[in-house]
Amino acid sequence: MRTVEEHRAAVLSLVSALPPVTVPLSESLGRVLAADVVAAVDLPGFENSAMDGYAVRAADVAGAAPGSPVFLDVHGDIRAGDTRPHELRAGAAMRIMTGAPMPAGADAVVPVEDSDGGVQRAALTLAPDVGRHVRRQGEDVRVGDVVLRAGATVTPGRLALVAAANVPDVAVAPRPRVVVFSTGDELVPVGLDLEHGQIVDSNGSMLAALIRAAGADLVGVGHLADDVAAWTTLLERMPGQPDLILTTGGVSMGAYDTVKEVLTETGTVDFVKVAMRPGMPQGAGVVGESRTPIITLPGNPVSSFVSFHVFVLPVLRALAGLDPQVPLVEGVAAQSWSSVAGKVEFARVVSDDAGVRLSGGQGSHMLGALAEATHLAVIGEDTTEIRPGDPVHLLPLVGQD
Asked whether the beta carbons of 286 and 296 are under 8 A apart, the reply is no
Phi, psi for residue 208 in degrees, rounded to 5: -60, -45
Closest CB to ligand MOO among residues 71, 256? 256
Question: Using CB under 6 A, which residues numbered 198 to 217 contact ligand LQZAQKY5?
Answer: 199, 201-204
53 binds, among ligand LQZAQKY5, ligand MOO, none (CB under 5 to 8 A by kind): none
What number of other Cβ atoms are within 10 A of residue 99's Cβ? 16
- To the nearest whole angstrom, how small is the minimum distance from the Cβ of residue 303 to ligand MOO? 3
Considering only CA atoms, give the Rg of the chain.
31
Closest CB to ligand MOO among residues 296, 364? 364
The Cα–Cα gap between 57 and 88 comes to 8
Closest CB to ligand MOO among residues 125, 303? 303
28 binds, among ligand MOO, ligand LQZAQKY5, none (CB under 5 to 8 A by kind): none
The secondary structure element, H or E, covering residue 344 is: strand 344-352
Upstream peptide bond of 44 is cis (omega within 30 degrees of 0): yes
The Cα–Cα gap between 82 and 296 comes to 63
Closest CB to ligand MOO among residues 102, 310? 310
Residues listed for the chain:
401
Question: Using CB under 6 A, which residues numbered 238 to 297 contact ligand LQZAQKY5?
Answer: 248-254, 257, 278, 280-281
Closest CB to ligand LQZAQKY5 among residues 249, 321? 249
Cα–Cα–Cα angle for 333, 334, 337, nearest 5°?
A: 70
- To the nearest whole angstrom, how small is the minimum distance from the Cβ of residue 257 to ligand LQZAQKY5? 5
Closest CB to ligand MOO among residues 243, 345? 345
Asked whether the beta carbons of 304 and 203 are under 8 A apart, the reply is yes
Closest CB to ligand LQZAQKY5 among residues 49, 248? 248
Residues 6+ away with beta carbon under 8 Å from 327: none
300 contacts ligand LQZAQKY5 (rule: CB under 6 A): yes
- To the nearest whole angstrom, how small is the minimum distance from the Cβ of residue 280 to ligand MOO? 4
282 binds, among ligand MOO, ligand LQZAQKY5, none (CB under 5 to 8 A by kind): none
298 contacts ligand LQZAQKY5 (rule: CB under 6 A): yes
The Cα–Cα gap between 167 and 35 comes to 13
The Cα–Cα gap between 186 and 194 comes to 10
Query: Do β-strands 276-277 and 344-352 pair in parallel, antiparallel, or remain unpaired?
Result: parallel
Taking the mean position of all CA atoms in its chain, how far away is CA 282? Answer: 28
203 binds, among ligand LQZAQKY5, ligand MOO, none (CB under 5 to 8 A by kind): ligand LQZAQKY5
- List alpha helices for 79-194, DSSP H: 156-164
Q: Which of the ranges 85-93, 139-147, 299-307, 325-333 carries the binding residues for ligand LQZAQKY5, by CB under 6 A? A: 299-307
Alpha-carbon distance values, 157 to 28, 115, 318 (Å): 12, 36, 27
Per-residue contact flags (x/-) with ligand LQZAQKY5 for residues 128 to 167, judged by CB under 6 A: ----------------------------------------
- Interface residues toward ligand MOO, by CB under 6 A: 277-280, 298, 300, 303, 364
Write out the residues near ligand LQZAQKY5 by the rule CB under 6 A.
182, 184, 186-187, 199, 201-204, 248-254, 257, 278, 280-281, 298-301, 303, 364
